[in-house]
Amino acid sequence: MKTFVGIDVAKAHVDLFDTVTEAHIQFENHSGGIVRCTNYLVTLDPQLIVLESTGGYETSLAVALQSAGLPVAVINPRRARDFGRAVGRLAKTDRIDAMLLANYAATMKPPERPMRDHKSRLMKALVARRHQLLQMRTAEYNRREHSHDKVIARSLGAVIKTFDRELKKIEQQLQTLVSASQELNQKVQSLISVPGIAETTATMLVTEVPELGQLNRRQIAALIGVAPINRDSGSFRGKRMTGGGRRRVRARLFMPTLVACHHNPVMKAFYQRLLQQGKSKMTALVAAMRKMLTILNTMLAKNENWNPKLT
């Protein structure tokens, strides 16, 4: 009988449930507890282990399980909640959540998460930190524009300069990491050959979307959340929607796609054609984002640089 495991991760401990023995086991969420949990799961030899993304508390455990050769899928917590509602499980405790995740694994069989090496994890963390610093810098910059007190303005200016220094350090670290990896450097160089894609966006894509170049166009669009979703029932034909997927990646692709729609001849022609067909600007922009992803995905799959004649 195939064994599926669900693990509910908290800051202090993790709760485990498997579908064969139906035993609930708790381990502490620190190095020693993670080792004991990993060793136990190795002896259990599960078909799939499912964890929720919990803002980083699951990272050490997921890495340890993958390093031990165990199949791991990290899912969006919303998927687990929706699954729980669908099967009528509305109560919420750590034990119930672990059982629900195990049942989700057995029923839905989500794809395993590809294992990242230390360098890839560091790059992802640096990209995330850069985004955080930019958000804080923008907030301080906006406050300075509305500050009428010189003392406050000087304080805000000093903080902005600190953010600028930290941003420069992180960008240098990212550049060093990319340059040290022939594979990553080749991918980034291929992506930045596309008009509208700068090095920052290219680095974000190779770290946040390691599947880029490995999936087909429908799969990559669904992964990011730019694939149109039908809303039909009987004779009713609802408006197509997009959503789900990797929201942070989608948000960071918005501005590069907008730039490409004005300065990339291929994307500009595609965008203008949709507008002429009566599509709204936002609908046309999302469609352009989907086309951009398809192009980037194909380029990495074929190990090619930008060629407008082939799009």
More confidently predicted of 114 and 252? 252
**pLDDT tier for residue 99 given thresholds of 50, 70 and 90:** very high
- Residue 233 reports pLDDT greater than 70: no
**pLDDT tier for residue 236 given thresholds of 50, 70 and 90:** very low
- Residue 244 reports pLDDT greater than 80: no
Find all residues with CB under 8 Å of 171, minimum gap 6, and list them.
130, 200
- Read off the pLDDT of each residue in 276-295 and give the average, rounded to a whole number: 93
pTM of the entire structure?
0.70
- Residue 220 reports pLDDT greater than 70: yes
Average pLDDT of the chain is: 89
Find all residues with CB under 8 Å of 255, minimum gap 6, and list them.
none
User: Per DSSP, what are the bridge partners of residue 15?
Assistant: 8, 26
The pLDDT value given to residue 113: 78
- Read off the pLDDT of each residue in 40-68 and give the average, rounded to a whole number: 92
- Taking the C-alpha atoms of residue 294 and residue 166, their distance in angstroms, rounded to an integer, is 34
Report the sign of the C-alpha dihedral through residues 63, 65, 70, 74, in that order: negative
The pLDDT value given to residue 89: 85
Share of the chain above pLDDT 70, in %: 94
- Taking the C-alpha atoms of residue 169 and residue 163, their distance in angstroms, rounded to an integer, is 10
Q: Which residue has the tokens 């708790």?
A: 26
- Read off the pLDDT of each residue in 173-195 and give the average, rounded to a whole number: 90
- Read off the pLDDT of each residue in 276-288 and give the average, rounded to a whole number: 93
